[in-house]
Amino acid sequence: MRRILAAVVGAAMLAGTTLASAEVVKVGIIAEFSGPFAVWGTQFRQAIEAFQKVNGKTIDGHEVQFVYRDVGGADPAKSRALAEELILRERVKFIGGFALTPNALAVAEIITEAKIPTVIFNAATSIITRKSPYYVRTSMTVQQYIDPLPTWAATEGKMKSAYVLVSDYAPGHDAEEIFINNFEKAGGKIVGKARIPLNVTDFAPYIERAGGSGAEAVYIFMPAGAPSISIIREFAKRGLKDKGIKLLAGGEVQEVFLPAIGDDVVGTISSMHYTETNTYPENIALRKTLMEMFGANAVPDIGSVGAWDGTKLIYDAIKAHGPRITGDQFVAFAKGRKWDSPRGPIMIDAQERDIVQQVYLRRVEKRDGKLVNIDFFKSGMVRDPWKIANPNAK
């Protein structure tokens, strides 16, 4: 009897050791899965699942497990609480996600204290990565993806004057600043501007004024969704488009939003770090996998590539350092790292831990009955202009 017991215990111990060598690495994802920003959470999750389908759920036998937490909307307190829970209870090695800046900033203290590397999949305010040495960003900053647009418009685009319409909130002010600076630097003239309160629903007066200002181009920046759809429709419906005035934009005209705007949007020129129709092999793989997994209407967007690349960075780091990788090892691994993203070549800045990437200028066209963005200009690698202009801001 005793011998049998000993054998059982021995076998159990052996099994225990083999189990211990195959570890589980947990990655906590804090994102907006419900509420007005639920689009982001869905994009993150689908991209992560697509990445795991292509690259497997294990790395050298170690399982990578994603633990999803819903922060709802802009809710810093909840974001912080979720980060605490993920670190203390779930024992995650990494945190990822964050569509909104306040949610991303809220975890700075905790991740610094716990040395948990945190990969920002979307939130685009420049300052974020300076708030903790454990932040790494795989998305973009607002000023980064706008940077080449005004310069191009004033030079090769031959637009001599522009009217600037931005939503009256922090990212809108950032956008206004870089557009006006770069446009004037390139020889263009700003003939007027307005900041539109976030709760405005009828944009007719703003478009009317912009149309009457004599500007050759109208630049808009606002949260993509109902407001941006309204203002672009108004631009066409008021005849500004027919008058030959150019509409310049950014994330407002990502492919996912185009059907909601309708054919009015054709001809809109925008700048972004990711164009859905680009032919990089990684992008074709991403699109194909998303369509296979989530149906023909699954269109990748900036949230998808942010999450895809964040997941890739985490995977590559685990591959290099094993499942017991520390926070500091991860950050050191990420700094200066280059790889091919679905958006094109990207790099993590060695000092700022922020993304460096190309920016694409595109025009909305109708191809095979579908509204899509088509690239016509590609910038060099762009660093976040705000960080260059404010080297010491914390």
Partner 1 sequence: MLIFTILLDGIAYGMVLFIISVGLTVTMGLMRVVNLAHGAFAMLGGYLASVMIRHYGIPYVPAAFLAAIACGALGGVAELTIYRPLYRKGELAQVLLTFGLIFISIAAMTLIFGPRPIDESMPKWLEGLVDVGFRTYPTYRLFLIGVGAALALALWFIIERSLFGARLRAAVDDPGMARAVGINVNLLFTLTFVGGCALAGFGGAIGAGILPIDPFYALRYLVLFLVVVVIGGLGSFRGSLAAALAVGIIETAGKYLVPQLGSFLLWIIVFGLLLWRPNGLLPAKTAS
Which residue's CB is nearer to partner 1, number 25 or number 215?
A: 215
Which residue's CB is nearer to partner 1, number 23 or number 264?
A: 264
Residue 268 region, left (φ>0) first, then alpha (ψ -120 to 50), else beta? beta
Minimum Å distance from CB 141 to partner 1? Answer: 24
Minimum Å distance from CB 241 to partner 1? Answer: 11
In whole angstroms, give the CA distance from residue 249 to residue 272: 9
Nearest to 104 by CA among 198, 176, 32: 32
Minimum Å distance from CB 78 to partner 1? Answer: 17
C-alpha angle 102-95-360 in degrees, rounded to nearest 5:
70
What does the DSSP 8-state code read for residue 265? Answer: G
Confirm if 253 and 374 have CB atoms less than 8 A apart. no
Which residue's CB is nearer to partner 1, number 153 or number 218?
A: 218
Chain-centre distance of CA 125, in angstroms? Answer: 11
Minimum Å distance from CB 100 to partner 1? Answer: 15
330 phi and psi angles, rounded to 5 deg = -65, -45
Pairing of strands 135-137, 118-120: parallel
Minimum Å distance from CB 295 to partner 1? Answer: 11
Which residue's CB is nearer to partner 1, number 119 or number 299?
A: 299
For residue 324, what are the contacts with CB-CB under 8 A and spacing of at least 6?
A: 23
Bridge partners of residue 167, in order along the sequence:
196
147 phi and psi angles, rounded to 5 deg = -35, -55
SS3 assignment, position 388: helix
What would the DSSP string read from start to end of 51-98? HHHHH-SEETTEEEEEEEEE--SS-HHHHHHHHHHHHHTS--SEEEE-
Which residue's CB is nearer to partner 1, number 129 or number 230?
A: 230
Minimum Å distance from CB 236 to partner 1? Answer: 8
Which residue's CB is nearer to partner 1, number 145 or number 203?
A: 203
Binding residues for partner 1, per CB under 8 A? 34, 36, 38-39, 42, 168, 194-197, 199-202, 204-206, 208-209, 225-226, 229-230, 233, 237-239, 242, 256-257, 259-262, 264
Minimum Å distance from CB 248 to partner 1? Answer: 20
For residue 143, what are the contacts with CB-CB under 8 A and spacing of at least 6?
A: 126, 174, 175, 177, 178, 384, 385, 386
Pairing of strands 355-367, 269-272: antiparallel
Which residue's CB is nearer to partner 1, number 41 or number 157?
A: 41
Minimum Å distance from CB 109 to partner 1? Answer: 31
Which residue's CB is nearer to partner 1, number 49 or number 252?
A: 252
Which residue's CB is nearer to partner 1, number 47 or number 83?
A: 47
Amino acid in the structure at residue 360: Y
SS3 assignment, position 212: helix
Which residue's CB is nearer to partner 1, number 43 or number 357?
A: 43
Minimum Å distance from CB 122 to partner 1? Answer: 15
Nearest to 369 by CA among 242, 221, 248, 266: 266
Minimum Å distance from CB 197 to partner 1? Answer: 4
